[in-house]
C-alpha cells in the first residue's frame, strides 16, 4: 500500500511538471500586445500638471551647511523681514543651506491640499540630514505663487567624516518633504471645450488611435474620430453633455489592443537588451566567435658575473597569447520572431553584450525590420 501511494505521488508530481513545461512551450508568443483600458494609455487634454519652483533656506544643520555669499545674503534678507538687521561678518551659515525647491501641481488640485516637494542644495552644503525648510513660496512659469512649502527634510543618504577618512552613502545633499507644500492657488482645467473631449495618446500610433475611436463608436455611436497618431477627439453624447465626468469614467474602462512600432532597445553601458514582440528578421546567417587575448607579465632577476662590478637588475617579460574559440554559423529563415531570435542567441551561447553586437550587425545588413534604439 505504501509503495502504491508513493508511486502515485511521484506520478502526480512528474505529471504536473511535464504539464507545466508544456504550458510554457505552448504559450502564445504571437500575441504581442495585451488588451488595456483606454485610460491607461491616454491623457485628457486640458487636465495636466504644472511645474513649480522656488528657493529657500534649510536650517538646523549640524555644521554641514554652506558658507557661500548667497547663504549669507539670504539669511540677512530673512532676518530683515522680521525687523532684525545683521552685519555680514556676524552671520554664521554652517548650520543652514540655500536650496532649490521643485514640485509638480497635479491637475484638479484645490487650495488647501498638499503636494510633495523636492529639495536640492545650491551651495557647498555637504548634508541636509536633520534640516528644516523655512517657509518658502513656490511659483509657476507665470510668476504667480501657487503653493507655500515648509517642513523637515527627509534625506535618503548619509555622510560621516573623521580626521583621516570619510564615507558617503547615496546623495545626502538632496531630500524630499512629503506633503510639504500647501496649495494656495488653483489652476483651472477645462477639458470639455465646446462639448468635446480630446484624448492624447502617451505612445502616438495611427493604428492605436483608430482602434480607440472605433471602440468608442461601438459603445456610444459615431462620436469619435482620430485626428492624427496622437489625438482622438470625442463629441460628448447627448446624455453626457451635462455630466462629462461620468462619460470619461465609463469611456476610460473600454478595453482595446494597442499597436506598437517594432523596436529593439539596447543599452551598451549595462548590457540590457529589450526586444518588442512584433520585431521580424529576414533570412540571415549569424556567425559568432570569441577572440581571447591574454597578456601576462613575468619578472626575472639578472645577476652580474662575479667581481664584474655590475649590479643586479630586475627585468620584465611580456607573454601575449591569442586564442579564438570555436564559433558557430546558424541560418535563420525569413519572418523570424523574437522567440526564434532568442532561441538562436541562446544556442550560440551569446552574452547580452554579444547580442547587442549581433543585433547591430543584423540591422546594418538590412535584415532587422524594426527600429534599433541605442540608449
Query: Are the beta carbons of 159 and 64 closer than 8 angstroms?
Result: yes
pLDDT of residue 27: 44
pLDDT of residue 157: 62
Query: Are the beta carbons of 369 and 281 closer than 8 angstroms?
Result: yes
Residue 320 has pLDDT above 50, yes or no: no
Phi, psi values for residue 181, rounded to 5°? -125, 135
Strands of the 371-374 sheet, one edge to the other: 272-275, 263-267, 371-374
pLDDT of residue 366: 80
DSSP string, 187-217: ------GGGEEEEEESS--HHHHHHHHHHHH
pLDDT band at 349 (very low <50, low <70, confident <90, very high): low
Please report how many Cα atoms fall inside a 13 Å half-sphere around the Cα of residue 239, on the Cβ side: 5
pLDDT band at 251 (very low <50, low <70, confident <90, very high): very high
Grid coordinates given for 177: 518633504
The mean pLDDT of the chain is 77
Lowest mean pLDDT among 77-86, 103-112, 237-246, 294-303: 294-303
Which residues have a Cβ under 8 Å from the Cβ of 159 and sit 6 or more positions away? 64, 126, 127, 129, 166, 167, 168, 169, 172
C-alpha distance from residue 105 to each of 108, 143, 146, 190, 196 (Å): 9, 14, 8, 16, 25
pLDDT of residue 4: 47
pLDDT of residue 69: 82
Which residues have a Cβ under 8 Å from the Cβ of 115 and sit 6 or more positions away? 103, 104, 105, 106, 109, 147, 179, 181, 183
H-assigned helices in 221-348: 244-251, 338-348
pLDDT digits (tens, 9 = 90+) for 100-110: 999 999 988 99
Amino acid at each position: 500500500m505504501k509503495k502504491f501511494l508513493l508511486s502515485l505521488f511521484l506520478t502526480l508530481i512528474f505529471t504536473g511538471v511535464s504539464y507545466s513545461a508544456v504550458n510554457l512551450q505552448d504559450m502564445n508568443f504571437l500575441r504581442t500586445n495585451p488588451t488595456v483600458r483606454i485610460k491607461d494609455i491616454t491623457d485628457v487634454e486640458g487636465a495636466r500638471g504644472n511645474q513649480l519652483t522656488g528657493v529657500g533656506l534649510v536650517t538646523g544643520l549640524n555644521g554641514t551647511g554652506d558658507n557661500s555669499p548667497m547663504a549669507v545674503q539670504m539669511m540677512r534678507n530673512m532676518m530683515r523681514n522680521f525687523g532684525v538687521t545683521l552685519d555680514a561678518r556676524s552671520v554664521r551659515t554652517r548650520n543652514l543651506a540655500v536650496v532649490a525647491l521643485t514640485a509638480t501641481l497635479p491637475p484638479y488640485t484645490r487650495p488647501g491640499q498638499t503636494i510633495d516637494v523636492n529639495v536640492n542644495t545650491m551651495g557647498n552644503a555637504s548634508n541636509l540630514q536633520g534640516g528644516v525648510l523655512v517657509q518658502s513660496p513656490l511659483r509657476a512659469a507665470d510668476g504667480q505663487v501657487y503653493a507655500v512649502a515648509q517642513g523637515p527634510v527627509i534625506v535618503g543618504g548619509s555622510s560621516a567624516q573623521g580626521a583621516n577618512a570619510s564615507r558617503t552613502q547615496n546623495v545626502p545633499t538632496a531630500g524630499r518633504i512629503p506633503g510639504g507644500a500647501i496649495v494656495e492657488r488653483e489652476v483651472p482645467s477645462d477639458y470639455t471645450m465646446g462639448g468635446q473631449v480630446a484624448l492624447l495618446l502617451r505612445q502616438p500610433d495611427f493604428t492605436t488611435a483608430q482602434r480607440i475611436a472605433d471602440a468608442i463608436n461601438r459603445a456610444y455611436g459615431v462620436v469619435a474620430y482620430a485626428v492624427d497618431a496622437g489625438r482622438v477627439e470625442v463629441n460628448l453624447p447627448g446624455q453626457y453633455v451635462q455630466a462629462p465626468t461620468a462619460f470619461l469614467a465609463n469611456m476610460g474602462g473600454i478595453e482595446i489592443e494597442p499597436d506598437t512600432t517594432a523596436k529593439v532597445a539596447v543599452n551598451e553601458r549595462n548590457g540590457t537588451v529589450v526586444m518588442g514582440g512584433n520585431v521580424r528578421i529576414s533570412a540571415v546567417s549569424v556567425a559568432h566567435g570569441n577572440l581571447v587575448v591574454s597578456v601576462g607579465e613575468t619578472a626575472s632577476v639578472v645577476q652580474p658575473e662575479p667581481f664584474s662590478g655590475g649590479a643586479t637588475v630586475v627585468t620584465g617579460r611580456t607573454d601575449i597569447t591569442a586564442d579564438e574559440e570555436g564559433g558557430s554559423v546558424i541560418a535563420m529563415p525569413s519572418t523570424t520572431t523574437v522567440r526564434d531570435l532568442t532561441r538562436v542567441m541562446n544556442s550560440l551561447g551569446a552574452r547580452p553584450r554579444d547580442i547587442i553586437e549581433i543585433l547591430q550587425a543584423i540591422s546594418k545588413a538590412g535584415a532587422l525590420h524594426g527600429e534599433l534604439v541605442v540608449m
